[in-house]
Amino acid sequence: MNTLRLSDYKDKLIHFIGIGGSSMSGLAELLTALGYQVRGDDRSQSHSTDKLIREGIPVVIGHDAKNVHGAGLVVYTAAIAPDNVERMECERLGIPQMERAELLGQISEHYPRSVAICGTHGKTTSTSMLSTVLLDAGRDPSIHIGGEIDLIGGSVHAGSGDTFITEACEFKASFLTLHPTLALVLNIDEDHLDFYKDIHEIEDTFAKFLGQIMPGGMAVLCGDDVRALSMKQRISVRSVTYGLDNPDCDYTAKDITHDDVMCFSFTPVEHGVELPRVTLRVPGRHNALNALGVTAAARELGLTGEEIARGLDAFAGAHRRFELTATIEGVKLYHDYGHNPAEFHSVIPLADAVAGDHRLFVVCQPHTYSRTKLLFDQYMTCFTGADEVLITDIYAAREKDPGDIHATMLVDALQKHGVPAVYTPDFDACENYLRTHWQPGDVMISLGCGNINLLNEQIARHEAEKTN
């Protein structure tokens, strides 16, 4: 059992291995705002590392044993293996180490109200939504998000209020370090099957997490998701449910409409009582469901219906979530963080609706060898609406190439299933194919949680260079 306490390192240097990751960079910023001395390193330069440097947090590029010298505490992620040179140097020198999730859990303990948003899909968007609602209502919560929102200028905010809002990630059961007073469960689906044995183990882990809700706390459960709803029977704390399709939920919606770009409006209904109508500026029915979940959570936190409607209206979306990044040669370029077939099912119809009578190009960067193998069959049915599908090389992330799966295998299988798929291994190949085939009015969306967002940036950069 880890006996390290963050408070013991207030006057000591804290070093982050892999500081450029979305969660790690946010925690580094949050600790700095709380008065801790922080530095870190990462294997490559990124927007995150550049931002940290601008904010005065020292960052070096590359992992090296000497990087941990002088540190009182070292923070690492689950993706940093024990044989990492810096972790091994910590062992040699006796420098204490704390995993990222444990650090997040200890930070959350400083707040009387801790809100954790969990689920296989939609965590970042829903956390951003709820954060926007509370900020707009003047509650000034502290926030830790896996993505970035413009309202707080990044992924973290050290607020003056009594509430801490965070994503609760199920990867390697890391959310078990949290003991929230309120947990919002969006959905429970098959993911991270390189860690979990099967969906039943995933369900059991979610139940264990919900069992850690603080006495007097509560759970907000999505009633449209069978597995999330089943948690109601497995927990002892108070719970409420929400759903667009399940009329038996505590929070429902009526008069659901959408505009021509699939931004939804609806009237929330709380235990039979109508609340002020909600109009969203982010597209997709799944975001309407997310907004209803946020409505339920916000009401349980004491916000009025008017405050919630105003906050949701102010929500403009999180970066890397169906984000319009540029318009090049009359083609709209979008990016979305979705990285498995279930998420593609939600976002591709949105892009197809935007494209209308024009063509939709989907660029998919499969994420990790294990996920590609385990979800291989699901890839065959998730690209409905796409006119052309470009498949890049698999983004390895934390994994080594096992040698038994390759992007070309995915392309071959997709073609046999009638999907117009082509293999474009790298960003140059993607860009060349797109510029050769697209026409004004078409839409391109890149999908993945690796570095595929850099494709959009590359295309925009090359276009700017042409005009200079």
CATH of the domain at 87: 3.40.50.720
Mean pLDDT across 19-35: 89
Mean pLDDT across 207-232: 97
From the CB of residue 327, how many other CB atoms can be counted at a distance below 10 Å?
12
Spatial contact of 240 and 222, defined as CB atoms under 8 Å apart? no
Residue 241 sits in the same domain as residue 377: no
Six-digit token string for 70: 């002088």
Spatial contact of 365 and 446, defined as CB atoms under 8 Å apart? yes
Q: How confident is the model at residue 119 (pLDDT cuts 50, 70, 90)?
A: very high
Residue 263 lies in a domain: yes
pLDDT at residue 222 above 70?
A: yes
Residue 344 sits in the same domain as residue 231: no
For the chain, what percent of residues have pLDDT higher than 90?
73
Q: How confident is the model at residue 224 (pLDDT cuts 50, 70, 90)?
A: very high
Alpha carbon distance 45, 32 (integer Å): 20
Element (H, E) at 349: helix 341-355
Residue 32 lies in a domain: yes
pLDDT, mean over the chain: 92
Alpha carbon distance 289, 277 (integer Å): 14
Residue 64 sits in the same domain as residue 123: no
Residue 180 sits in the same domain as residue 264: yes
Residue range 237-268, pLDDT digits in tens: 999 999 999 999 999 999 999 987 788 999 99
Residue 52 sits in the same domain as residue 149: no
CATH of the domain at 209: 3.40.1190.10
Q: Which of 258, 282, 314 is the last residue of a domain?
A: 314
Pick from 372, 7, 303: nearest CA to 129: 303
Six-digit token string for 392: 């890049």
From the CB of residue 457, how many other CB atoms can be counted at a distance below 10 Å?
16
Domains: count for the chain: 3
323, β-bridge pairs = 335
pLDDT at residue 1 above 50?
A: no
Residue 1 lies in a domain: no
- For the beta sheet containing 421-423, the strands, ordered from the edge strand earlier in sequence to the opposite edge, are 323-328, 331-336, 443-447, 360-364, 388-391, 421-423
Enumerate the active-site residues.
Answer: 123-124, 167
Residue 33 lies in a domain: yes
Phi-psi region of 98 (alpha: psi -120 to 50; beta: other; left: phi over 0): beta
pLDDT at residue 219 above 90?
A: yes
Q: How confident is the model at residue 2 (pLDDT cuts 50, 70, 90)?
A: low
Six-digit token string for 31: 């600790």
Q: Which of 98, 124, 157 is the last residue of a domain?
A: 98
165's CB contacts (< 8 A; 6+ apart) are 115, 117, 127, 130, 131, 134, 141, 142, 143, 144
Highest mean pLDDT among 5-9, 44-48, 267-271, 283-287: 267-271
Pick from 244, 343, 232: nearest CA to 292: 244
Residue 141 sits in the same domain as residue 259: yes
Looking at residue 318, what is its pLDDT? 64
Residue 166 sits in the same domain as residue 273: yes
Mean pLDDT across 436-452: 94
Looking at residue 47, what is its pLDDT? 83
Whether the predicted model's global pTM rises above the 0.85 cut: no
DSSP state of 162: S
Least confident of 197-211, 344-358, 439-453: 344-358
Residue 4 lies in a domain: no
383-392: burial string, b at 16+ Cβ within 10 Å, e else: bebbbbbbbb
Residue 293 sits in the same domain as residue 342: no
pLDDT at residue 370 above 80?
A: yes
CATH of the domain at 375: 3.90.190.20
Q: How confident is the model at residue 22 (pLDDT cuts 50, 70, 90)?
A: confident
Phi-psi region of 140 (alpha: psi -120 to 50; beta: other; left: phi over 0): left
Spatial contact of 341 and 377, defined as CB atoms under 8 Å apart? no
Mean pLDDT across 21-45: 91
DSSP state of 207: H
Comparison of pLDDT for 351 and 337, the residue scoring more: 351
Mean pLDDT across 116-139: 94
371, β-bridge pairs = none
Six-digit token string for 216: 């007097």
Mean pLDDT across 437-460: 94
Spatial contact of 329 and 438, defined as CB atoms under 8 Å apart? yes
Least confident of 55-59, 137-141, 145-149, 312-316: 145-149
- First-to-last CA distance in the chain? 59
Residue 366 lies in a domain: yes
Write down how long the chain is.
468
* Site of tokens 């609760």: 168
Residue 179 sits in the same domain as residue 269: yes
Residue range 304-330, pLDDT digits in tens: 999 999 999 989 776 677 888 999 999
The boundaries of the domain holding residue 46 are: 10-98
Q: Which of 291, 314, 337 is the last residue of a domain?
A: 314
Residue 282 sits in the same domain as residue 409: no
From the CB of residue 31, how many other CB atoms can be counted at a distance below 10 Å?
23
Residue 257 sits in the same domain as residue 189: yes
Residue 3 lies in a domain: no
Residue 233 sits in the same domain as residue 285: yes
Residue 5 lies in a domain: no
Tell me, what amino acid is at 274? E
Phi-psi region of 241 (alpha: psi -120 to 50; beta: other; left: phi over 0): beta
